[in-house]
Structure 1
Amino acid sequence: MIHGKIAVCVVGAGRAGMIHAVNFAKHVPQTILAAIVDTDRTAAKAAAEKLGAENYYTSCNEALSDERIDAFIVVSPTKYHMETVKAIAASGKHILCEKPMAMTENECDEMIRVCQENKVKLQIGFMRRFDESFRQAKEMVDCGEIGDVVMVRSNTRGPSIPKPWMYDIKKSNGPLAEVNSHDIDTMRWFTGSEFQTLYAVGGNYRCPDARTEFPDFYDNVVLAASFANGMQGILDGAQGVGYAYDAKVEVLGTKGCISIGSVRGKDVLLCSSATQKGNYPLVESWRNLFKDAYLKEDRAFIDCIVQDTEPFVTGMDGKMAVRVVNAGNISIMEKRMVTL
């Protein structure tokens, strides 16, 4: 600890990393931002200076030498998550790991095992569970306001073209992982069940630069699923849509339906990638839409350390999402239904 506060180190100074870093530096009273880690020394230094962090490093191993640090926020590329989390857990530090948790289920199992062996907290970054609208809808479902849940439909469509490294499905696990992990977790959360069967189709409609070298890459995906408890699910994901950051959920029950997201009744909404204008202001980024949810997520992580309680979003939640991502990619590539 530093000055009687929980000392936090953020690993990754990108967009999501900086959201967490700002929260721990300014908005979570029990914490102090002790360090920033980024392989780009210039980015690490700039972030540390901007937020008043005492130190910055170019590797997580360097940061682990500072025994005062109590917890790490892992916001590095997915392929590095397992080794990074294992090293942090072995040093006895608590961990908030951004989604996707890892590349494979086996990697998730290893992360869970090492954290349990070293008795450290492992929380996964599904911040939508902390969003006020999502939580209100979940309470309504749990209270039976729409009867029994029949179907959950969740979509996330991002406005920007993917980064070039995402084109290689073997390295990124594709949009199902990078974009739609949140939808997968949302569907599990609202159904209270696990995916049983799924069928997914994907296609590359907006990224011509990827077609020759990465023929398996998809920027649009539709996934239909059944759950172990008999409920149904539909996932709709896209990258590079241009018009807005578009995240919506519908929970259909036997006696009604709950909608989360922008629903305007009979309004006619024009969404154009050419003008980026509609009949009312559109959400430009997930950073705006879920700003408060990230803060509540970060506060919940610190609370589970202070109170020694189980994280609200566990390693098992992360693993189950990775399982569905991998099964969905198999379904897309092999054009068949997959049973989990």
Structure 2
Amino acid sequence: MIKDRVNICLIGAGRAGMIHGRNFASRVPGACIISVCDPSEEACAAAAGELGITDTFTDYREALKDERVDAVVVVTPTAYHRDIVIAAAKAGKHILCEKPMAMNAQECEEMIQAAEENHVKLQVGFMRRFDASFVRAKELLDSGAVGDLVLVKSLTRGPSIPKPWMYDIHKSNGPLAEVNSHDIDTMRWFSGSEFQTVYALAGNYHCGDARQDFPDFYDNVILNARFANGVLGCLDGAQGVRYGYDARVEILGTKGSIMLGDLQDKTTVVYTMDGGKTADVVQSWMHLFREAYLNEDISFVKAVREDGPVLVTGRDGLMAVRVVNAGNQSIVTGNVVEL
């Protein structure tokens, strides 16, 4: 039996949260956002005004008491994911949890267990799996279009300087989690295998304010990997690059390669008489993956309405967090880390 409508509570009204909020307000069939929760009363009021709703909460525990709510979208700092997701599961709410899933593997396992025990859906927010170009690349790869897979290289570089709370690696897990969780999941998805070994190098090149109090903080990272099936992986991540939002993937096979992504935003290029050349550059992940977020939200609601499987599971989130933790360990120790 298909459920007529899924009532959504948004927990976390920041930039990413509002992407989901806008989708559920008007663009997701069979869904309706009925409440928003954020510790900031100002953020709640702004979100409610934009989304056209009246019910706001500053405490997620109070929001979960609303029996009208069928599902929650958790878009808070990572350190709070475990407690919110477990509470939501116990309240019988289906869950879409943004990446990174949690701080460590144990927290992920507890979240998965809570969802299973309370018979609710748990989907993790790796929206690149819903991007049309990424889906097409996966189809081509699986069809053998480039032969046997050899290497997956994934790059994500963000333009903005990290928020101050992200400087503490123990609270944020660093750029490997905040920025490059998507790359880790992409590499795992395309390889069709699990990370077996990782070796990572990192440094702080842009964030001078963090060097004294947070000497372990890094804003650039390279992670090389081998998968259990022998495929090689390479991750290139950065924050604070300023030149634009850069997300690209190269898939190398024995008979060819597949390229994904382009820093140039539009095809319009300007040539000037002094020999100059300019073009528009992608400035934000919110713009680049706008439709992927929508497809992700549609897929989640479809799974809830039809009682079907989610396409990105808690285990997918767990495996990415394991790689983040292993990569951070490798950065600190200088060693290859086996998973």
Shorter-chain TM-score bucket reads: over 0.9
Superposition pairs of residues 110-259 of structure 1, within 5 angstroms? 110-259=110-259
What letter corresponds to residue 153 of structure 1 in structure 2? K
Q: What do the CA deviations read for 1:171-217 (whole angstroms, capped 9, x no partner)? A: 00000000000000000000000000010000000000000000000
Q: Which residue of 2 aligns with 1:78?
A: 78
* In 2, Cα distance between equivalents of 1:53 and 1:179: 31
* CA distance, structure 1, for counterparts of residue 113 and residue 65 of structure 2: 23
Structure 2: how far apart are the matches of 1:261 and 1:297? 19
Q: Which moved more, 1:50-59 or 1:212-221?
A: 50-59
Question: What is the TM-score when the length of structure 1 is the normalising length?
Answer: 0.94
Within 2, Cα distance between the matches of 1:206 and 1:175? 13
SS at match of 2:279: coil
Q: How far has the Cα of 1:301 moved from its partner?
A: 0.2
Cα 1:30/1:207, change in 2 over 3 Å: same
Percent of aligned pairs with the same amino acid? 60
Residue type at the aligned position of 1:29: P
What are structure 1's unaligned runs of at least 5 residues?
Answer: 271-276
**Alpha carbons of 1:178 and 1:316: their partners in 2 closer, same or farther (altered >3 Å)?**
same
Structure 1 residue 278: Cα displacement = 6.9
**Alignment match, 2:19:** 19
Q: What residue is the counterpart of 1:320 in the other structure?
A: 319
C-alpha distance in 2, partners of 1:304/1:130?
Answer: 14
**CA–CA distance in structure 1, aligned partners of residues 40 and 195 of structure 2:** 39
Letter in 2 for 1:311: V
d(CA) in 2 for partners of 1:282 and 1:50? Answer: 28
Aligned to 1:112, the other structure's residue is in SS state: helix
Q: What SS is found at the alignment partner of 1:177?
A: helix
Matched with 2:49 is 49
Corresponding letter in the other structure for 2:161: I
Are the equivalent residues in 1 in contact too, given 2:6–2:304 (CA < 8 A)? no
1:307 aligns with 2:306: yes
SS at match of 2:72: strand
Paired residues of 2:95 and 2:121 also in contact (CA < 8 A): yes
Q: Quick check: 1:298 aligned with 2:297?
A: yes
**How far is 1:4 from its partner?**
5.1
Secondary structure of the residue aligned to 1:24 is helix
Q: How many residues align?
A: 329
Aligned to 2:273: none
Q: 1:94 is matched with which residue?
A: 94
Greater strand share, 1 or 2? 2
Secondary structure, aligned partner of 1:45: helix
- What is the root-mean-square deviation in Å for CA atoms of aligned residues? 1.7
Kept after mapping to 1: 8 A contact 2:198/2:337: yes
Unaligned runs of 5+ in 2: 271-275
TM-aligned CA deviation for residue 54 of structure 1? 3.2
